[in-house]
Structure 1
Amino acid sequence: MSAIRASSAEWVATYNKNDWTALAELFAPDASMMPPNSPEAVGRDAIAAWEAASEEGFRIALDVQQIDGRGDMAVVRGRSCVFIPKESGGYGVDVGKFLEVRRKQAAGNWLIVSDIFNSDLALGSELQDACPFAELG
């Protein structure tokens, strides 16, 4: 499971660079990403395009709470804090959760095949001032 934790850490570092093409490479070629309030994005190109259109300038922190797997498949569940730039400067925080299905590749890396995430905040709520488990780094 340490390889999956390392893969999650790589995903966070890549996301925080806002390198959406590189981020999409951490997904399987035919992966499905199911963002909130948006249609499903299927495939690396669609995932990179959604990220570029929806999350430019954002940062993220993940708290991986559970990894359960057998063979070449694993499910990863945890909490997330998305740091969203404010027009006035600084960031507001959207606290949420995520669930990923990962498949081990022949090279030993774990790519995401399905990813769903959503917010704990009610629609129209104000962003929080801080993340309960991480600082913006």
Structure 2
Amino acid sequence: MKMISIPAVLVAITLAACQPTAIAITEEDRLAIEASSRHWVETYNRNDWDTLSNLFTPDAILMPPNGPAVIGRSAIAEWEQTNEAGFRIAFDLQSIDGAGDTAYVRGRSCVFIPDGAGKYGVDVGKFLEVRKRQSDGTWLIKADIFNSDLSVGGDLLAACPFDSSQIQYD
């Protein structure tokens, strides 16, 4: 039977303990991410898909429900144009956390979908974003996954369950 020396174990433990720990994101980071999220909502609500795609990293991945992943800015802009033209959105940010240059944003969403008769139905859902701090200090979306709380085939709601008064309809 082979014995491991106690000094070797102590050295291994010491080296493992000396690994740098990423610093938690700051309140300034949280405020910047909140501002970036507001800008994302404003851009989405203008249906300005090219500008919206620039709020993602060049290699970002969008993971919509019931479909394949969408990778890269141009593909994200095209997906948004094809699938969400005319839609509006409101966010309820519930958590912003992270460390170093990585942040996680979790929240609820209300997507306002035109019904063709001049009104909107509401799809309530949730989302999770991974954001990366860029060299200029901005926080771009690296990964975005979202889905609906509605059951398959369920009817859209008449209203958003959280404040969505900032939504402007054409």
Could you say what secondary structure the match of 1:96 adopts? strand
- Cα deviation 1:71-115 (Å, max 9, x = unaligned): 110000000000000112210000000000000001110000000
| Alignment partner of 1:107 out of 136, 148, 165 | 136
Partner of 2:119: 90
- Alignment partners' CA distance in 2, 1:60 and 1:82: 4
Could you say what secondary structure the match of 2:65 adopts? coil
How many Å apart are 1:122 and its aligned residue? Answer: 0.5
Could you say what secondary structure the match of 2:123 adopts? strand
Using the TM superposition, name which of 126-135 and 98-107 deviates more: 126-135
How many Å apart are 1:38 and its aligned residue? Answer: 1.4
TM-score, length basis structure 1: 0.98
Could you say what secondary structure the match of 1:84 adopts? strand
Q: Does 1:117 align with 2:146?
A: yes
Letter of the 1:110 counterpart? W
How many Å apart are 1:69 and its aligned residue? Answer: 1.2
Runs of 4+ in 1 over 4 A off after TM superposition: none
More helix by share: 2
- Alignment partners' CA distance in 2, 1:31 and 1:97: 19
Structure with the greater alpha carbon radius of gyration: 2
Q: CA RMSD in A?
A: 0.7
Partner of 2:25: none
More strand by share: 1
Show structure 1 runs of 5+ residues with no match. none
Partner of 1:73: 102
Partner of 1:62: 91
- Alignment partners' CA distance in 1, 2:156 and 2:138: 35
How many Å apart are 1:29 and its aligned residue? Answer: 0.1
Number of residue-to-residue matches in the alignment: 137
Could you say what secondary structure the match of 2:161 adopts? coil
TM-score, length basis structure 2: 0.79
